[in-house]
Amino acid sequence: DAKTTQPNSMESNEEEPVHLPCNHSTISGTDYIHWYRQLPSQGPEYVIHGLTSNVNNRMASLAIAEDRKSSTLILHRATLRDAAVYYCILSGRAGNKLTFGGGTRVLVKP
Amino acid sequence: DSGVTQTPKHLITATGQRVTLRCSPRSGDLSVYWYQQSLDQGLQFLIQYYNGEERAKGNILERFSAQQFPDLHSELNLSSLELGDSALYFCASSVADRARYEQYFGPGTRLTVT
């Protein structure tokens, strides 16, 4: 499975945007880029995913580089509830099992 | 609420015992996945079923087995339990087994082996 690289942690102030980077230089043409998050004491939660084009949903936006070797998850206005570990995952081979790395721990300060 | 249910929520048992964890997927989802989350290994994929058939296997021990029933619920069986099996076990479901479909996770079963 292609690997992703994320910063270990990031801090943000409440109501400010958060940009979470992810590098995936060995991505293949059929790999989707998925983002999940895990709030404390909960199961992982789907955030967004995309293949080539930028994607928006009610939770976040996903900006994908033209060469697809990196992507950025954008939380437009962070709230305290957005404090979680965010995982960037590539999925495309052998069905869509998710291979979780260490993720980025996001701290939101009031 | 993801729509995925898992029972029991907590399970405490002794080494050498056998337990069964149960998962009901979201209505309409055909694919079920099992993941293990421990402090030292993080979140790891164990096994996937699609419409009753095993579709993919991850780092699942031989002491562990799973199945998906005709009503699409799934069970994960853990036997000859060891202290190291203590972990959170998550079930997830998706409508199909293609990479473009998102997975929805249940609240997990916390297993403690003493």
Taking only the tens place, the pLDDT of each residue in A59-95 is 999 999 999 999 999 999 999 999 999 999 998 765 6
For B41-96, the pLDDT digits (tens) are 889 999 999 999 999 899 899 999 999 999 999 999 999 999 999 999 999 999 98
Q: Determine the pLDDT at residue A1.
A: 63
Of the candidates A38, A51, A97, the beta carbon closest to that of B45 is on A97
Q: What is the pLDDT of residue A95?
A: 60
Question: Quick one: what percent of chain B has pLDDT higher than 90?
Answer: 87
Token pair for A23:
């590098």
B25–chain A Cβ distance below 8 A for any pair: no
Between strands B87-94 and B109-113, the pairing is: antiparallel
What's the pLDDT at B42? 87
* CB burial of residue B33 (10 Å; 0-12, 13-18, 19+): buried
Looking only at the bridges linking them, the beta strands covering A104-109 and A18-23 are: unpaired
Residues 38 to 97 of B: which have CB under 8 A from any A CB? 42-45, 48, 50, 55-56, 58, 90, 92, 94, 97
Does the structure show a pLDDT above 80 at B39? Answer: yes
Q: Residue A109: CB partners within 8 Å, gap ≥ 6?
A: A11, A12, A13, A14
Residue B101's pLDDT is 85
CA dihedral B44, B73, B31, B5 (to 10 degrees): -60
- Average pLDDT along chain A: 92
Which residue from A42, A45, A91 is facing B99, i.e. has the nearest CB? Answer: A91
Is A101 in Cβ contact with B56 (below 8 Å)?
A: no
Which residues from A are below 8 Å from B when comparing CB atoms? 30-32, 34, 36, 38, 42-46, 49, 51, 87, 91-92, 94-102
Q: Which of A27-36, A96-105, B6-15, B90-99 has maximum average pLDDT?
A: B6-15
Inter-chain touch A44–B90, beta carbons under 8 Å? yes
Res A53: pLDDT: 92
User: Nearest CA to B35 among B57, B2, B5, B67?
Assistant: B57
CB contact under 8 A, B100 and A32: yes
Give pLDDT, residue A16.
95
Most A-contacting residue of B26, B54, B103 (CB-CB within 10 A), to test interface: B103
